[in-house]
Amino acid sequence: MFHNIPTATYPDLWPRVWQWSHFFETYPHCNPKALSREESRTFSVRLCYFISHLREDDTARDLIDSTPGVRVVLAKTWGIMLEESQLAIFDLCRFLGRDPAVSNHTDFLEFVEGAGGTISDLALLVVKHITWSCGELPTWPVSQIGLDQRNTLLHGGSNFLLATRAAKTDTFFHALISHGIVKALIEAALALGEKNTKGTVEALHSCFLTLAWIWDVEGADRRSLMREALGAGLMRALVLSAVHPCTPSPVTVQCLQQYLGRFIPEALTYHSVLSIIMQFFRSVEDLVETKRFRESKIFKEWRELEGLVQDRLRVLEWYNSKDYESLRSCQIPDWTAGGHRDSCQYHRQVRSQEVRYVPGKDRSFIRACFDAHYTAARRGILSAQLSFIKENPSTQFYVLLSYKENTVTFDVQPVSINPGVAVEEWKDYVSRVNASGGRMELHVLEHGSGDRGRSNTHTKLFRCGQAVGKCMKD
């Protein structure tokens, strides 16, 4: 039908079609012959199909994209297509996959309205789309769709997520996480990693890029995200992407390197992650030993990550030993006379209400990492402290150990530079150091990424002159 309509008429045709369609959608009770539910759903699908063809003209596309309410209809139709496996979903994916499908908060709210009225409804719709795209797809005519059916579906879904960044709503991404977007994206990457077509690489990149963006959402619990990602097959998905027959683009390689050089390393300060990670390394040994992976662009980062894991496992072994118990001699004086008893209950109550609250054993292991690596770098830290004192006499300072990269680094900073700790909590730490009369030092461990929010730092008061106890053996 559309082939018989001149493309030049599309810009004039769209306002006429939309006025009638919008009235029909808004006031269905005014229709003298009420449509059945099935007929109404068929109408919505055909309208989406019609919109897809009109958007072949640049002027008509701009008119459609700027029309208020059109995204409400598309979101309603999206759910119908998933339920009925409609062929027209590929037309919808061409809209979702464009840049940007959502250019502002108003566009985003239209999708929310069409998906059911809540942000959670839209998040669930997106997760369903990606999950469905990884399943057993219906047999559609290849001549109408092309060979890369799954790629088109996943590219549309993941690009839609990337476009929603313009809406600047972290609530949406927390809803995505709660509905299982991490598992859905990794399973999609696993499904794509087994395919050999060129379009697969582009869809793979979209999956990893979307997952990386979710990782950086303000307030995301990266510890839980990493456990979920590892369980869903993150390590295998990364290796499959690296050995894919179609060479990944430099941008895709950079994205994969980010996981090996940043996301996974920053999670290795958590006991709950480190205690399970080796089983996932063992699960990909067959792929890692292949010639293709050894020649891949991420092999160097993979070997560095393996070395980092071994380092953390040595800390874990020490943490589980009796030697670590000797560190209690440092904690008891602070508890009884250093003000810890008075402030601990308050700060624990505040932190426990946060989304990113780190539970006891993980926090305890973070302290073990701190103690182990502080001891290893102690000579250099003392030298840096002396240099700071000479250059900044009478200025109070703290030591910052950073775990944001594959190697642990340290720096000496004045207490006037807050490392991202809550203001009142930071004041409390500084005042306790002042009250110690020089018997305590203030140390901060920084792990994670982003804005150095509270979940990304761990503050420790260190009693000067106390033995740190036996640490890791070389």
Tell me the average pLDDT of the chain: 79
Closest by CA to 283, choosing from 230, 206, 351, is 230
The pLDDT value recorded for residue 131 is 87
- Containing 295, the helix (H) or strand (E) segment is none
Burial of 67 (0-12, 13-18, 19+ CB in 10 A): middle
Q: For tokens 């992650």, name the residue.
A: 273
- In the chain, the domains with their CATH numbers are 2-318 (1.25.10), 324-463 (no CATH)
Q: Cα 191 to chain center, whole Å?
A: 20
Close Cβ partners of 149 (under 8 Å, ≥ 6 residues apart): 90, 137, 140, 142
Q: How many beta carbons lie within 10 A of that of residue 317, not counting itself?
A: 13
As a 3-state breakdown, the chain gives helix, strand, coil percent values, each rounded to 5, of 70, 5, 25
Helices and strands in the chain, H and E counts: 25, 4
Report the C-alpha gap between 137 and 414 in whole angstroms: 59
Report the C-alpha gap between 151 and 199 in whole angstroms: 6
Closest by CA to 127, choosing from 60, 214, 55, 227, is 214
Is the pTM above the cut of 0.75?
A: yes
Q: What's the sign of the alpha-carbon dihedral 106, 112, 117, 118? A: negative
413, two tokens: 């900073």
User: pLDDT for 9-26, tens place per residue?
Assistant: 888 989 888 888 877 777
The pLDDT of residue 124 is above 90: yes
Radius of gyration for the alpha carbons in the chain, expressed in angstroms and rounded: 28
User: pLDDT for 371-421, tens place per residue?
Assistant: 888 888 889 999 999 999 999 998 999 998 888 767 788 999 999 998 877
User: pLDDT for 248-263, tens place per residue?
Assistant: 778 888 888 989 988 8
Give Dmax (Cα) for the chain.
89
- Strand pairing class (397-402; 440-446): parallel
DSSP line for 15-67: HHHHHHHHHHHH-GGG-SSPPPHHHHHHHHHHHHHHHHHHTTSHHHHHHHHTS
Q: Which alpha helices (DSSP H) does 263-298 contain, by range?
A: 264-267, 271-282, 285-288, 291-294
Q: How confident is the model at residue 450 (pLDDT cuts 50, 70, 90)?
A: very low
Q: Is residue 211 a contact partner of residue 130, using CB atoms and an 8 Å limit?
A: no
User: pLDDT for 67-115, tens place per residue?
Assistant: 898 888 888 888 888 877 666 677 777 777 665 677 788 888 998 998 9
397, two tokens: 């300072």
Report the C-alpha gap between 309 and 277 in whole angstroms: 8
Cβ burial 441-456 (10 Å sphere, 16+ → b, else e): bbbbbbbbbbebbbbb
- Give the sheet arrangement for strand 409-414, strand by strand: 409-414, 397-402, 440-446, 457-463
Q: What mean pLDDT is predicted for residues 444-466?
A: 55
User: pLDDT for 283-322, tens place per residue?
Assistant: 999 999 999 999 999 999 999 999 999 999 999 998 888 6
Q: What mean pLDDT is predicted for residues 437-450?
A: 74
Report the C-alpha gap between 400 and 403 in whole angstroms: 10
DSSP line for 99-121: TTS--SHHHHHHHHHHHTSSHHH
User: pLDDT for 156-214, tens place per residue?
Assistant: 788 788 778 767 678 888 899 999 999 999 998 888 887 766 667 777 888 888 888 88
Q: What is the DSSP letter of 167?
A: G
- Report helix, strand or coil for 401: strand
Report the C-alpha gap between 389 and 80 in whole angstroms: 68
